[in-house]
Amino acid sequence: MRRLLFKSVMSMWFLAMFCGTASVPGPAAAAEDQEWKLNFGGYLREHMSMNLQDHPETSQNDQFTLQMLRSAVQVEGDASKGDIRVHAVGRIVGEIKTDYLKRLENIGAGGGDLMSQYNISDLRELFIDFKPHERVLLRIGKQQVVWGETDFFQAMDAVHGFDYTWRSFLEGENEDYRKPLILGNAIIQVPELNGSLQLLLRPGFDRDKDIGSTFDIFGGRWIVTPYGGVNFLNPAVFPYNLHHPDGDADDPTWGARWLGKAGDITYSLAYLRTLGPDPVFNPSYGPFNGIPTTPGAVGETIYLKNDRFGLTATGYSSIADAVFSTEIVYIKDQGYNFGTAASPIPGLDGVITKDTVSAMVRMDKNLNLTGILGTNAPSFFTVQVFDKWIPKFKQSDNVVDFAGFSAQRKEHNVVGTVVLALNYMSSRLNPQIAAGYDFTYGGSFLIPSVALAFGDKWRLNAEADLFFPKNHNDTPGGDSSDTHLIGYFAHKNQLSVRLTRQF
């Protein structure tokens, strides 16, 4: 009853905000002859990827076979008048079922309908901006909000989940796979304190599937090795339960962030009450908090609520001639799976919550490599180090890195990444190399790529995604006691080519 009352109040608040725009005055809006200004754009995109290795789950040789043929059309538009702006983004995506996907589907991926996971038509954004006061900007509707400083791993950037089902974490433009939400978003300028206050409210009007990060757990091309073709979302296995009492998609969530400047340092302080972006598997034989799981299933996939307290800081150092950034996030009640190799399913005795600290430090620097590599402009170089720390870690908790694997998590997990981006042909040709290493568990990845801009409209991107796990498991139910992050991507090396026509 209280939830219904709260949602009714929120509905009236949203309606009032939308309707109130008709009477919101702006500096120039009083002119009767003022016209609406319209702008449209978007892109047409073809995206292809090819397996560079054989995958152990199929009986055929998958090396050099196409794993993805994806077409996308995105259209976005703005209509503005005075201080009012309406923005919309729509996207249609379709894939051709490659022979490799047919093989996975024949094993059981997607319950025999794998393409329903990849072919998506969606209204990605629809919001309105207006200024009820010269210091206040309100944005109401379906939108994306980016918090935090990290590029590879989520810490404070947890307002939204991401859709990793079709491309894992390798897509460069994360706005393309961030999952927009219906939000009330207010930014209040406070010049006296050299900063601004941002307030967020998600009233819970979103579709269930818009909550949390979506991983390939249906057996498709990006499920962790060696589970290709295994559909964990089968109603009899681990279907989603997005209305669990400890993680209900209909419950409102909210956050606040102060963004300010102190001397030469730009900083932020943030609090976020959200559904954790990473799901956990809740087994029926040991349900979280003793609450019965989905009837008739081995368990369920849930997103648990948590609180996040974050600090970021960025500043320039003249000594190093570089920009240094840091992000530290305290996550209260982060959900983890726990278990041992002797569990009914490895690492899946149940769910435990542990307070967690996620930290990052980064250096960004421009390098003059013109005399060495013949570049035409300074090259961008960045180094990042990430640490995920469980302060009250106990070995006896048997916390695992990922359900379905018995590899035990350590108190700290430190990963480093480095990126070097070069510029040629008046910065129209941009080779780049990205690399990462897991200092805790071993394993690395290497991503050489090149981007070419020809004309004002055409963009070509090509890259190789190469993974070098220290240990991995090739057999479901096999020894997974030393399989960690990079090991999940064993046999996943691929070549990716993307052609985009902007308009």
Q: How far is CA 450 from CA 21, 272, 350, 447, 501, in A?
A: 45, 37, 44, 10, 17
Q: Which helix (H) or strand (E) holds 18?
A: helix 2-20
Distance CA 117, CA 125 (A): 20
Distance CA 14, CA 184 (A): 8
Q: Which helix (H) or strand (E) holds 12?
A: helix 2-20
Q: Give residue-wise pLDDT tens across range 106-130.
A: 999 999 899 999 999 999 999 999 9
What's this model's pTM, rounded to 2 decimal places? Answer: 0.90
Q: How far is CA 409 from CA 336, 363, 397, 413, 446, in A?
A: 10, 28, 10, 8, 24
Where does residue 234 fall: left (phi above 0), alpha (psi -120 to 50 degrees), or beta otherwise?
A: beta
Q: In degrees rounded to 5, what are phi and psi of residue 389?
A: -120, 130
Report pLDDT for 13: 40
CB burial of residue 320 (10 Å; 0-12, 13-18, 19+): exposed
Q: How far is CA 427 from CA 80, 455, 462, in A?
A: 33, 12, 16
Report pLDDT for 81: 94
- Please, what are the domains in the chain? 41-502 (2.40.160.10)
Buried b / exposed e across 3-20, counting CB within 10 Å, b at 16+?
eeeebeebeeebeebeee
3-class secondary-structure state, position 39: strand
Q: Give residue-wise pLDDT tens across range 210-266.
A: 999 999 999 999 999 999 999 999 999 999 999 999 999 999 999 999 999 999 999
Report pLDDT for 148: 84
Report pLDDT for 26: 45
Q: pLDDT tens for the chain, 503 residues: list them.
A: 444 434 433 443 443 344 333 334 444 444 444 799 999 999 999 999 999 999 999 999 999 999 999 999 999 999 999 999 999 999 999 999 999 999 999 999 999 899 999 999 999 999 999 999 999 999 999 999 999 887 777 889 999 999 999 998 777 788 999 999 999 999 999 999 999 999 999 999 999 999 999 999 999 999 999 999 999 999 999 999 999 999 999 999 999 999 999 999 999 999 999 999 999 999 999 999 999 999 999 999 999 999 999 999 999 999 999 999 999 999 999 999 999 888 888 889 999 999 999 999 999 999 999 999 999 999 999 999 999 999 999 999 999 999 989 999 999 999 999 999 999 999 999 999 999 999 999 999 999 999 999 999 999 999 999 999 999 999 988 899 999 999 999 999 999 999 999 99
Report pLDDT for 456: 93
Closest C-alpha among 488, 448, 440 to residue 466: 448
**Neighbour count for residue 105 (Cβ, 10 Å):** 20
Report pLDDT for 501: 98
Q: How far is CA 328 from CA 148, 154, 260, 264, 386, in A?
A: 9, 11, 16, 19, 10
Start-to-end C-alpha separation, the chain: 49
* Partners of residue 105 on adjacent β-strands: none
